[in-house]
Amino acid sequence: MDKPKVFVTRLIPEGGLELIRRACEVEVWPGELPPPRQVLLDRVRGLDGLLCLLTDRVDAELLDAAGPQLKVVSNMAVGYDNVDVAAATARGIPVGNTPGVLTETTADMAFALLMAAARRIVEGADYVRAGKWHTWSPTLLLGYDVHGATLGLVGLGRIGRAVARRAAGFEMRILYFDPYCDAGQAPFVDLVPCCSLDDLLAEADFVSLHVPLTAETYHLIGAEALAKMKPTAVLVNTSRGPVVDSDALYEALKEGRIAYAALDVTDPEPLPADHKLLTLPNCLVVPHIASASHATRTRMAIMAAENLLAGLRGERLPNCVNPEVYAARP
- Interface with ligand DGY (CB under 6 A): 54, 77-79, 102, 291
| Residue of 277, 223, 262, 269 whose CA lies nearest to 242 | 269
Shortest gap between Cβ of 215 and ligand DGY (angstroms)? 18
Q: Which of 288, 297, 299, 306 is catalytic?
A: 288
Counting beta carbons within 10 angstroms of the beta carbon of residue 173, is it exposed (0 to 12), middle (13 to 18) or buried (19 or more)? middle
Find out whether 205 and 144 touch, Cβ atoms under 8 Å: yes
Q: How far is the CB of 160 from ligand DGY (least distance, A)?
A: 14
Is 275 tagged catalytic? no
- Residue among 194 and 220 whose Cβ is closer to ligand DGY: 220
Spatial separation of the C-alpha atoms in residues 158 and 182, rounded to whole Å:
12
Least distance (Å) from ligand DGY to the CB of residue 12? 12
Longest CA span, the chain:
75
Catalytic residue among 123, 269, 275, 316, which?
Answer: 269
134 classed as catalytic: no
Kindly state the smallest distance separating residue 2's Cβ from ligand DGY, in Å.
32
DSSP H or E run through 295: helix 294-312
Residue 51, beta-bridge partner list: 8, 74
The verdict on whether 269 is a catalytic residue reads: yes
- Given 240, 297, 299, 306, the catalytic residue: 240
Using alpha carbons, list the distances in angstroms from residue 24 to 40, 69, 146, 258.
Answer: 19, 15, 50, 51
Of the pair 53, 189, the CB lying nearest ligand DGY is at: 53
Nearer to ligand DGY, 79 or 124 (CB): 79
Residue closer to ligand DGY (CB basis): 34 or 79: 79
Active site members? 240, 269, 288
